[in-house]
Structure 1
Amino acid sequence: MLIGGNIEVHVNPGDGTGLRKALLHAPTGTCSDGQAHSISLVRNRRIITVQLDENNRVEMKLGPLVESRTINMSNLYVGGIPEGEGTSLLTTRRSFHGCIKDLIFNLELLDFNSAVGHEQVDLDTCWLSERPKPAPDAEDSELLPEPRAFPEQCVVDAALEYVPGAHQFGLSQNSHFLLPFNQSAVRKRLSVELSIRTFASSGLIYYMAHQNQADYAVLQLHGGRLHFMFDLGKGRTKVSHPALLSDGKWHTVKTDYVKRKGLITVDGQESPMVTVVGDGTTLDVEGLFYLGGLPSQYRARKIGNITHSIPACIGDVTVNSKQLDKDSPVSTFTVNRCYAAAQEGTFFDGSGYAALVKEGYKVQTDVNITLEFRTSSQNGVLLGISTAKVDAIGLELVDGKVLFHVNNGAGRITATYEPKTATALCDGKWHTLQANKSKHRITLIVDGNAVGAESPHTRSTSVDTNNPIYVGGYPAGVKQKCLSSQTSFRGCLRKLVLIKRPQVQSFDFSRAFEWHGVFLHSCPGTES
């Protein structure tokens, strides 16, 4: 409740211990100042924390009987209560006069347009009338109240959630876990079962081998499909499964070698069974299980070109029904946690950048850049390539607009895409971008809307760079001549392609020579 310009919070936990109260004062002295204020209330077991404007925090401790009790709610009223609905908690029945937005309940953004009912509420606009001011030349006359609109806001990022026990691989060519297992148990029978989620089409999932690599077993993803190969020392046996795995969904995968037969099972669907090649009878390997990839110093000689780490999340792994302990690996390298909900893309957390093409990228007269982005911020660097002099190109978000800057050496030109609303691009949805430089002309296309610019210096046509490509931001010591902001991008990027005819370069962020605040191969949240 808003009482006398302050926020009052009353809680009855229903345990018979009575009412809890909290009073929060605005830093400016009152919340009735026509300015936007934020309020959050979080319950964690016995502790209820209330916060006003990010800095005024009050805690209320409930009784021990409430520790595991759910506070049941049947109705949620905002801004007032209907006639006839009464509660002893309310010290006022006056309805709220003002604007309320971005109401989040249990991490879900509630849409007022979906309310079960409402009275005397304008759902589509947010106007406040300022107090009338006396006209300068007339004592009795009054100015009409001026409506004042609260600016719309960007989407609110949901809290990041992770899958317990699952790990993201593919953060480098050599991401891996090396796990011990009982090698004697797999001589006559090998059954490996794991859960996996990936958007990738290729990579090494697991590998085991003898010291001399005469015997081995490996599971690889190639062309989006699984291939299980093993050798009992007398020739390679290969089993393939027709299911496409590169859909970003969780799959249960099982590979079996038993009684001179091999097969793959995906989500309960078995592949055709293959008979073992040669007259080998046992699989003799070391007790080392390579999961997700291989160390840089290890060279697998007999399994083809798919030796790079699989860009995938892998959950629990069992070998002959015994779960491997990923908490006690022999070694591990560049492995991360997995988002509970994920989509294709790479997540930039707003604190860093990815640096590509260490040897330098030559923009010259023509280049076409395409990418997709989604963000919850109005500002952020998308891409920059710059010399120490003036030649440079830059792509950035500034106050909800997309800016494409180019300097051929004779002055900067900028193509600016301004959406209909300042928050149209920070809605957390995917947006497509294409930036084309052709000599002294540039074109920027965002979601199919094109804008352009042209340099008056028609003879100056080349951006003479030989510098790295910085994506999502850039280091503090690096100069960017065609970026007005140092704000790192927060959100997800994907499908970055630079075209210089006839060369088409598609960039994988895991090939970056340096990155900070970048989480490869998955973007948190569901596709939208």
Structure 2
Amino acid sequence: TSPGPTQSLNLRKPFFVGGINPDLSSNDKVKKHLQGVLGSFEGCMRNMKQNYETFGQPNATQKVSSCVANLERGTFFNDQGGYITLYDKYYVGLDFAFNLDIRPRNLSGVILAIYDPAEKGDYIFLQLVDGKVVATADNGQGEVKTEYTPREENALCDGEWHSISVNKAKNVLLLTVDGNNAPAGTGAVGSSEINTNDPMYIGGVPDFTRTGILTDRNFSGCIRNFEIRRGKGELYKAQYLSSGDITGDVTLNKCPRN
């Protein structure tokens, strides 16, 4: 509070709406004035005004998306482009399998990527390419590929959820889409291990020029029910995309229904 009959506030830009800059969250003065409440506002705002004048468009936003009335569970990757770094260092190894559901809004986009940034490094990718679902892997002995082609080019962009399963078992790569098995991809015998110690990206990648990436777009649409099995005979474990680091326009825990 200000002493005496003060009737105005001496404020300086920037103004934060809906939350504060993460760099300020550890500031003792900020903590005191906010009484320890440092969480961001969850919900929708509109018609922001100061002295009866609208604020206009913000200079910058962080993890903010448009308000949508009709929502359901999942993570939404906006058309503007964005992705989640779910793990900073992930080892694929001999056996690796995962399941997820997608509801895409575009025929092309990177769904999952784990790769050594070196040009000839190991990798595994799951991508949409012109309406096809393509899984590829390389352990240094040449690319292994399996591809699912729907009967109609736009079949996966029909507004419905579609299930995808990928299973890398040593030198064999299996892909199933909506219960339909794609032809298996088989690599060189005796060359089975994908040696990665690199980020796992969901919904896109920071660099589309990497060998093995077949599109120049991030995934657009919704993803849910992502689960991983690390080794043969192990159980699948649910993965929480909200635990990852967001880059770009991604909305956690809610998807527009249409």
TM beyond 0.5: yes
The 8 Å contact of residues 384 and 393 in structure 1, kept in 2 or not, is answered as: yes
Q: 1:484 to 1:336 in 2, by over 3 A?
A: closer
The 8 Å contact of residues 144 and 187 in structure 2, kept in 1 or not, is answered as: no
Q: Where does 1:109-120 land on structure 2 (aligned, <5 Å)?
A: none
- 1:339 equivalent to 2:68? Answer yes
Once residues 352 and 369 of structure 1 are traced to their aligned partners in structure 2, the CA distance between those partners, rounded to angstroms, is 21
- 1:295 equivalent to 2:25? Answer no
Once residues 416 and 378 of structure 1 are traced to their aligned partners in structure 2, the CA distance between those partners, rounded to angstroms, is 14
- 1:405 equivalent to 2:148? Answer no
The 8 Å contact of residues 99 and 166 in structure 2, kept in 1 or not, is answered as: yes
Secondary structure class of the residue paired with 2:156 = coil
- 1:499 equivalent to 2:229? Answer yes
Once residues 287 and 400 of structure 1 are traced to their aligned partners in structure 2, the CA distance between those partners, rounded to angstroms, is 49
Q: Which runs of 4+ in 1 moved over 4 A?
A: 312-315, 333-337
The 8 Å contact of residues 82 and 246 in structure 2, kept in 1 or not, is answered as: no
Amino acid of the residue matched to residue 110 of structure 2?
V
How many aligned positions are there?
Answer: 212
Q: What is residue 253 of structure 2 aligned with on the other side?
A: 521
Once residues 353 and 424 of structure 1 are traced to their aligned partners in structure 2, the CA distance between those partners, rounded to angstroms, is 24
CA offsets per residue over residues 70-124 of structure 1, 9 Å max, x none? xxxxxxxxxxxxxxxxxxxxxxxxxxxxxxxxxxxxxxxxxxxxxxxxxxxxxxx
Gapped regions of structure 2 (runs ≥ 5): 1-16, 26-31, 46-54, 56-61
Once residues 517 and 337 of structure 1 are traced to their aligned partners in structure 2, the CA distance between those partners, rounded to angstroms, is 10
CA offsets per residue over residues 410-447 of structure 1, 9 Å max, x none? 11011110111111111121100000000011110000
Q: What is residue 416 of structure 1 aligned with on the other side?
A: 147
Q: 1:423 to 1:521 in 2, by over 3 A?
A: same
Q: What is residue 212 of structure 2 aligned with on the other side?
A: 482
Length-normalised TM-score, structure 1 = 0.37
Secondary structure class of the residue paired with 2:242 = helix
Amino acid of the residue matched to residue 346 of structure 1?
T
Q: 1:490 to 1:335 in 2, by over 3 A?
A: closer
Q: What is residue 49 of structure 2 aligned with on the other side?
A: none
For residue 509 of structure 1, report the CA deviation from its aligned partner.
Answer: 2.2
The 8 Å contact of residues 408 and 462 in structure 1, kept in 2 or not, is answered as: yes
The 8 Å contact of residues 474 and 486 in structure 1, kept in 2 or not, is answered as: no
Once residues 437 and 524 of structure 1 are traced to their aligned partners in structure 2, the CA distance between those partners, rounded to angstroms, is 32
The 8 Å contact of residues 355 and 468 in structure 1, kept in 2 or not, is answered as: yes
Q: What is residue 374 of structure 1 aligned with on the other side?
A: 103
Residue of structure 2 aligned with 1:436, choices 167, 170, 173: 167
For residue 486 of structure 1, report the CA deviation from its aligned partner.
Answer: 2.1
Q: Where does 1:184-199 land on structure 2 (aligned, <5 Å)?
A: none
Amino acid of the residue matched to residue 244 of structure 2?
A
Once residues 504 and 433 of structure 1 are traced to their aligned partners in structure 2, the CA distance between those partners, rounded to angstroms, is 14
Q: Where does 1:45-444 land on structure 2 (aligned, <5 Å)?
A: 294-295=37-38, 313=43, 338-350=67-79, 351-358=81-88, 360-387=89-116, 388=118, 389-444=120-175
Amino acid of the residue matched to residue 363 of structure 1?
V
The 8 Å contact of residues 65 and 249 in structure 2, kept in 1 or not, is answered as: no
Once residues 500 and 456 of structure 1 are traced to their aligned partners in structure 2, the CA distance between those partners, rounded to angstroms, is 20
For residue 336 of structure 1, report the CA deviation from its aligned partner.
Answer: 5.4
The 8 Å contact of residues 408 and 463 in structure 1, kept in 2 or not, is answered as: yes
CA offsets per residue over residues 290-316 of structure 1, 9 Å max, x none? 8xxx538xxxxxxxxxxxx89x7589x
Q: 1:450 to 1:429 in 2, by over 3 A?
A: same
Residue of structure 1 aligned with 2:240, choices 492, 508, 522: 508
Alignment identity in percent?
33
For residue 479 of structure 1, report the CA deviation from its aligned partner.
Answer: 5.7
Q: 1:426 to 1:402 in 2, by over 3 A?
A: same
RMSD of the alignment, in Å? 3.1
For residue 450 of structure 1, report the CA deviation from its aligned partner.
Answer: 0.7
Q: What is residue 267 of structure 1 aligned with on the other side?
A: none
Instruction: Look at both structures and tell me which one has the larger radius of gyration over its CA atoms.
Output: 1
CA offsets per residue over residues 291-347 of structure 1, 9 Å max, x none? xxx538xxxxxxxxxxxx89x7589xxxxxxxxxxx9xxxxx966554211011111
